[in-house]
Amino acid sequence: EAIEKGGYDHFMLKEIYEQPRSIADCMRGRLDASSGRLVVGGLRDYMNKFQNAQRIIITACGTSWHAGLVAEYLFEEFARIPVEVEYASEFRYRNPVLNENDFVIAISQSGETADTLAAIELAKSKGATIFGVCNVVGSSIARATHAGSYTHAGPEIGVASTKAFTAQISVLTLMALKLGYQRGMIAETRYMELLHELETIPGKVERALQLNEQLIKIAEIYKDARNFLYLGRGYNFPVALEGALKLKEISYIHAEGYPAAEMKHGPIALIDEEMPVVFIATKDSSYEKVVSNIQEVKARKGKIIAVVTEGDTTVKNMADHVIEVPSTEEAFVPLISVVPLQLLSYHIAVMRGCNVDQPRNLAKSVTVE
């Protein structure tokens, strides 16, 4: 097992560190910015259906559902097709309104999640086209769907999903760009710009991993906290959810992710000097709004840990800790901003003596209801 961990203490840490490579593997053969080539093999026979879909419905569970939420922003921004993101367990029992003009995307690392599989069968019975985004080749979901694309992240052993999440987002990003371009929603020059930027992501994730030492120090300070709040807006809202999920899964600290502006409708009541609040506050279209949310937390003496874009000075003056990540296109930020949150959870869990790779009560894949 030590050999399989490749010198890392846990599979989770190894998998976090594999991300520059797994993201690159996921894009290999699909993206070549210099020639403007973007091919999502699995889509070939279904491009027509995809392009003309009235609606895209994404269904998944857990971390894969968070990747689906990122995709909602991506598809709506780039392709201008309405998207709904559904927990498979709710969707399957709701008698949803569905027809043959709906394009359903099922996301699953294992390809074996019972609820997701049942949601697929239901959507199929209503005539929708189902596309799978799975990591495990030949899995039940990969076989049950009409078509699909693998994430090629390699085996993920740690129960808390890390590299599968960023690989899912990578595939969904490629799909959104392809779809947007085919539908004439992205101008040629902008499209090329986006493709070039996407190719730089593995290198930027590599740089985000260099924040590890800093995250160990932050983990030391907050490892005994009883609660954590994670806040973000726009593309970073799903990242806030994922950051909170990672922490609760492996460290057993209660954590909630929220859209930063919703804080005032509830979570703000919890804020005092005991409450660490993680803001994902990268320089994007909602930056100014997030800055005022940070001020609101500061006024209530919450402890602020902020993930910001390199060179940010505004948040630095307000936060207790800033974690600087490389800048990128707004739509690609989750691939980078989630990395320090994964590391923070990992170190807190290790310091608390938790079984990081096999947290209590959780399973890598949930094959029963």
Quick one: which of 19, 108, 149, 327 contacts ligand G6P (CB under 6 A)? 108
* Type and span of the H or E element at 357: none
Structure-derived torsion over alpha carbons of residues 249, 254, 259, 264, reported in degrees to the nearest 10:
180
State yes or no: residue 362 binds ligand G6P (CB under 6 A): yes
State yes or no: residue 110 binds ligand G6P (CB under 6 A): yes
Q: Closest Cα partner for 229 from 254, 202, 251?
A: 254
Quick one: which of 19, 59, 109, 162 contacts ligand G6P (CB under 6 A)? 109
Q: Compute the distance between CA of residue 256 and CA of residue 247 in angstroms, rounded to an integer.
A: 9
Q: Closest Cα partner for 10 from 246, 237, 346?
A: 346
State yes or no: residue 63 binds ligand G6P (CB under 6 A): yes
CB of 153 to ligand G6P, least distance (A): 11
Nearer to ligand G6P, 110 or 251 (CB): 110
State yes or no: residue 157 binds ligand G6P (CB under 6 A): no
State yes or no: residue 113 binds ligand G6P (CB under 6 A): yes
Interface with ligand G6P: number of residues (CB under 6 A):
15
Annotation marks residue 126 as catalytic = no
Quick one: which of 89, 161, 309, 337 contacts ligand G6P (CB under 6 A)? 161
CB of 233 to ligand G6P, least distance (A): 23
State yes or no: residue 167 binds ligand G6P (CB under 6 A): no
User: 3-state DSSP call for residue 36?
Assistant: coil
Nearer to ligand G6P, 79 or 159 (CB): 159
Of 5, 124, 298, 364, catalytic: 364
Q: Do the bridges between strand 37-38 and strand 31-32 make them parallel or antiparallel, or are there none, so unpaired?
A: antiparallel
CB of 72 to ligand G6P, least distance (A): 17
State yes or no: residue 145 binds ligand G6P (CB under 6 A): no
Q: Compute the distance between CA of residue 25 and CA of residue 69 in angstroms, rounded to an integer.
A: 23
Quick one: which of 19, 64, 162, 166 contacts ligand G6P (CB under 6 A)? 64
Question: By CB under 6 A, which span of 68-76, 103-111, 178-186, 308-316 interacts with ligand G6P?
Answer: 103-111
CB of 366 to ligand G6P, least distance (A): 5
Of 263-302, binders to ligand G6P (CB under 6 A) are none
Q: Compute the distance between CA of residue 6 and CA of residue 228 in angstroms, rounded to an integer.
A: 31
End-to-end CA distance of the chain: 31
> Which residues 6+ apart lie within 8 Å of 83 measured at CB?
55, 56, 57, 58, 71, 72, 75, 76
State yes or no: residue 116 binds ligand G6P (CB under 6 A): yes
Q: Are residues 65 and 116 in contact, defined by beta-carbon separation less than 8 angstroms?
A: no
Where do we find the tokens 């100014």? 288
Q: Compute the distance between CA of residue 106 and CA of residue 158 in angstroms, rounded to an integer.
A: 22
Q: Are residues 247 and 228 in contact, defined by beta-carbon separation less than 8 angstroms?
A: yes
Nearer to ligand G6P, 110 or 282 (CB): 110
CB of 105 to ligand G6P, least distance (A): 13
Q: Tell me the residue number closest to ligand G6P, measured at CB.
A: 62
State yes or no: residue 342 binds ligand G6P (CB under 6 A): no
Q: Closest Cα partner for 315 from 284, 341, 282?
A: 282
Q: Closest Cα partner for 227 from 242, 243, 258, 248?
A: 248
Q: Which residues bind ligand G6P (CB under 6 A)?
A: 61-64, 108-110, 113, 116, 159, 161, 362, 364-366
User: Which positions are catalytic?
Assistant: 364
